[in-house]
Structure 1
Amino acid sequence: MPNTQTPYDPVDTEALRCLRDSFDTREILRIVDLVDTIRTRLCEPEGIRDDLLQLHGTAHTVLNGASLVSGAANPGLVEQAESILEELEDLIRVLQHAVHVLRPLELLRPSDDA
């Protein structure tokens, strides 16, 4: 199958034709928004990073007998772990969706015989 030269690099002609008819580039911008949301949830105060540090302290106390580092009023070990697992699973689903949306762009790889 022939390739088509673009301003960036050659791409597979047939894949280009198909994607021009079916791929919505606005989806990439939607993924950017999702990544921004993920970044905020991971890193901001009260984010997953802080949740994991709190979970570590709780687990370290419960499993290793370490001194109590956070108040006993905090959620229990299992509740903390379940909450973090649920959040991480949600983030994985979002990232899997992003992979699914972007995967068709791989079809543009030019054929070697052109």
Structure 2
Amino acid sequence: MIDIPPASFRVTPYGEVDATALEQVREGFDTSLLLRLVDRLDACLAEMGGVIMLRDELLRLHAMALTLVEGAPPTVPIENSCIWAEAESLLLDLEALAAWVHSAQICLKPLADLLPDHER
């Protein structure tokens, strides 16, 4: 008689997954964390004014840097404009976004760990 070990993976509606990792996820993963990630992303982006605003602020900083670094004529109004304050504000926004990304990575890791051995 041939001794066949149990499968190390399970077939699910969303693909084959590592059986052990699936049991661990079922025992301790809170799916509501994913919804909280969405809420926190929305809040983070709202504080920044949205992705479009972040993009616009980066372009504004680029225009200011072109003037200071390369001597290009100013294209951003110079009244009440301070390049270091603009850069500092962007840094704070990006730090908040980076903190969200880090927490999202931690939250998603157990689901990524469902990758079965035969797919590695």
Is TM-score (shorter-chain normalized) higher than 0.5?
yes
Q: Secondary structure at the match of 1:108?
A: coil
Structure 2 unaligned spans of 5+ = 1-6
Q: Secondary structure at the match of 1:49?
A: helix
Match of 1:59 in 2: 65
Confirm whether residue 29 of structure 1 aligns to residue 38 of structure 2: no
Match of 1:69 in 2: 75
Q: Secondary structure at the match of 1:4?
A: strand
Alignment equivalent of 1:41, drawn from 50, 70, 73: 50
Paired AA for residue 41 in structure 1: G
Match of 2:94 in 1: 88
CA distance in 1, matches of 2:59, 2:80: 13
CA distance in 2, matches of 1:87, 1:110: 37
Deviation for aligned residue 1:30 = 2.3
CA deviation map 1:79-98 (0-9, x unaligned): 11111112112111111110
Deviation for aligned residue 1:78 = 1.1
Match of 2:106 in 1: 100
Larger Rg: 2
CA distance in 1, matches of 2:64, 2:117: 55
Between the two proteins, the alignment pairs up a number of residues equal to: 109
